[in-house]
Structure formats: C-alpha cells, structure tokens
A = this chain, B = another copy of it.
C-alpha cells in the first residue's frame, strides 16, 4: 500500500495478499474471509509484530552507511530478506510487517516461497543463473522451449510473438521502437530496404533516417523514466523536472466520479471528452509534422493514482488507433501477472481484437513485450542489446506460473480482492468523513481509495503503520 499524489491510498497487490488483516474490524462480516486468509505458505506469520518504532535504530544506522555511498532519499526500510516469509516482511530491526506493497508490486509469490527456493537445488538451473548469455545472439539450446513453457503459456489472446528485455523501462523503450519501425515500414509500402539518404541522415540524428514521430500518452500516466519512457510519463514532477523531453501529444485520461453506479451519465461524458481530445490531438500532431506512431496507455493508471477507465473507453481507444494508424500499446508492467484476477488486466475490457503491443515486467520477473506478427522488425539487430533479458528470470517465472496455476492464485486474487473491496466499502459507508472514491471492484486486489483530505489520508496510513502494515 502506498500514498501517492492527491489523497490516494493504494491497497494490496500480491496474489497472496491477505485482505482481512487490512480490513481489520470488518473481517468477521465477510463470508469469504476465512478462506481468503488461509496461509498459502507454511509457517507464515499470522499477524504483524512490531518490536521498535518504524524505522527503527538498525534501519537508521544502515541508512547512514548507505547514504555515504549513494543518494538514499527514497530508502524507507532495510529488510532482512532471510527472515521475511510469504506476505510478511521482517525489517532490519526485527519488526514483522504485513507487506501490501510487495516491492513495488514486483514479488508475485511473496518472500522466500519454498517452490522458488527449490529451483536452485537443480544444478542445471544454477548454471542458468551463473552463465548469463547475450540472448539475442547466443541463446541456450533450451531457450525456445523455455519460452513456450513460460511466457507463451500466458500470452494475451492474439499475441503469439514476443521479445524479452531486462526491465520495465527497457520493455517500453523497445516496444516504442517496434511501433516506429512498423509505422515507417507501412509508409514505405512494406518495402524493407532503405535509401542512402535515410542511412546517412540517421547517423546524425536527422530526418528522414530519424523521422520526427511522436507517441500519444495520457495525463497521469507512468511508463518509466528513461528518455523515451519519461516523455510519456506524467504522474509526478519529481520524475521529470530538469530532464529534457519531447513535444509529444498528451491526452486527458478519464477521472471518474464514484460510486460508478451513481454517476453513469457523467462518467460516460468523461469518456467522450477524453476520447475526443485524443483523436483531435492525433490529427493535430499528424498535420504538424510529428506523426503519432503509437498510443501508449495503462489499463489502470497505477503510479498516477489508480485511475480506472471503462471497457468502453478502451474499446473506443482501439477504434481510434485503427482509424488513425497509430499502434495501440497497453503497458501492463504494473497490472500484468495476475493481481487484477486475470493474467492481463486488459482481458477485462473485451476488446474485439488484441492490442498491437503489450509490455510487461515486475511480477513477470523478466521484462519484455508481446506483439502482433507485423510488429516484428523486418531485419535483425534493430531491436537488440547485449543481454536482451535474463534466462534466470524466465526459469523463475516458469515456476511462478506453475504455482499460480497449481494453487489457483488468480481465483485467490479475485476472492481476496472481493473480500477487501467489500470490507472497505463497509468502512466507506460507516466513515464517509474519512474514505472516498473507493475503486477497483472486480479487479482482484487492485483496489484503492482516497482519504477525504491529505491529512486524513496520512492519518489512516500512520495508523496502519502502527499496526504493522507496510506500504
């Protein structure tokens, strides 16, 4: 759980998150609660236990040491990863906390999951961890099979091609390149050769070799912090200030009124307003010599404040993409891997066909993206780097996917999410002077609400912290 701009309170993100501990007092009212709180990992603690204030003296001492080496302004706790287990994180001071933040939503099975620890008892796997290859040129003999038994197993419907990368930013950066290349190849009438002028001009960063394409992104979006990604990120000034950027189109993302069922007309109007501006911006940038090669969107704006949009919004956005020729990229770096109760959040939207590109990282352990076949570059080495990901992360992912299936963790995320959502809904009705804009119904544990004021939000979070809930 974490606090963002405005008055937001994020809630649990992990498959194995335990709703009841968060909803506290209302637990007893939920019929599904008992089932949802059964531990999925043996010997997992049953409740938080604080020994010191948080941060405690050991964290403060380590912070002093680390700050002598690197800028540490974002460090909040030092963690004892040896002792952490399941949903419970143990910090350097021995405090046991319920972790509903799960390493910025990147730990799919919690801490020290026994099945994951076990993969390193296989000497073959040890060799995968030690011999990191240049995957784009010298993959292991087992690599095609490794992909088939991991990433391809959970590929979004209609996207049977993929590319691995090391992290979320690299996934988006390279997926953006795939969209530029596709857009330019279409402009060439699917010819795959280059003119001498293109070859020469690209070497000095000039058109026509480096065309002046743009990407459309949304207000409140987060897509990473490398230069291309950062030009499409608009969630907080601290990410962007002092860093040069690009004049690219930025459309409004729907901000709904809640509860949804009481604001159907206004929210429909909000969809219309945002979509209209989106299409207008694409036409505007196309005609000003900065053709929009792609639309980049999160299925839920996570870093930017858990902003949800309707299925109709995404369906219509896809139509805009088709009308304008700008590819549609859905960034599932934060939403992918199961926390919404489906492997991919965009599966909730009933799109008539697959988006063109879906990027992932975090809970998938490896970065990368799925694409339609026509988005594969027509030549090698165009999307390439030394490592192109890391097979050891794919070995881990394969095991994670096996456990998700075996233990029905997608069902668990749905059921746990429902318990959590209903619990907070009850609290919202009981304490309307504290809780507002509860959102995320039917989206697994991807649930958030606003405090009525920043001060009240901070008070809620402060009290949760005192009870050992780590955000």
Query: Residues of A with Cβ closer than 8 Å to B?
Result: 58, 62, 65-66, 69-82, 84, 89, 92, 103-104, 106-107, 111-113, 116-117, 120, 124, 126-134, 136-141, 143-145, 147-148, 152, 160-164, 166-170, 173-174, 176-177, 180-181, 184-185, 194, 198-199, 202-206, 209-214, 219, 224-229, 231, 234, 237-248, 250, 361-362, 365, 376-377, 379-387, 392, 396
Contacts and interface: CB of A to CB of B under 8 A. Distances in A.
Contact of A120 (B120, B140, B202, B396): B120
A70 B167 contact: no
Contacts of A111: 131
A465 to B, nearest CB: 14
A250 B204 CA distance: 7
A66 to B, nearest CB: 5
Q: Which of A205, A237, A239, A384 has the most CB of B within 10 A?
A: A205
9 contacts: A71-B161, A76-B138, A78-B143, A106-B387, A120-B130, A169-B170, A203-B234, A227-B227, A238-B382
Contacts of A211: 242, 244
Contacts of A141: 58, 62, 78-80, 92
A1 to B, nearest CB: 13
A129 B365 CA distance: 12
Protomer copies = 2
Contacts of A112: 127, 130-131
A18 to B, nearest CB: 19
B243 A177 contact: yes
B228 A227 contact: yes
Nearest to A63: B144
A138 B79 CA distance: 6
A133 B225 contact: no
A250 B237 CA distance: 30
